[in-house]
Amino acid sequence: MSGDVIICNCNEVYKSEIVKAIKEQGCKTVEQIGDVTGAGTICGGCVDDIQEILDSEINK
């Protein structure tokens, strides 16, 4: 995954919004990302993608 792509189709949450929540809000879990952005809170289909972004950003 690269660039600014939609990660959560249900809530139209882009990758950049998730990265921003991690960097600026200190989110460390999928649940925290959901609280801040709404991603992963409806159907859950994007939860694995959110976790992948979290792992990538936290391990930088």
1: in domain: no
Whether residue 1 has pLDDT greater than 50:
no
Domain of 30, CATH number, reads: 1.10.10.1100
The domain in which residue 46 lies consists of 6-58
| Domain assignment present for 20 | yes
Whether residue 10 lies inside any domain: the answer is: yes
CA distance 60 to 56: 7
Q: How many CB atoms lie within 10 A of CB 48?
A: 11
Tokens encoding 5: 């792509």
pLDDT at 27: 98
User: Does residue 30 sit within a domain?
Assistant: yes
Question: Is residue 21 in a domain?
Answer: yes
Which residues neighbour 25 within 8 Å (Cβ) at sequence distance 6 or greater? Answer: 32, 36
39 inside domain: yes
pLDDT band of residue 20 (cuts 50, 70, 90) is very high
Distance CA 34, CA 60 (A): 21
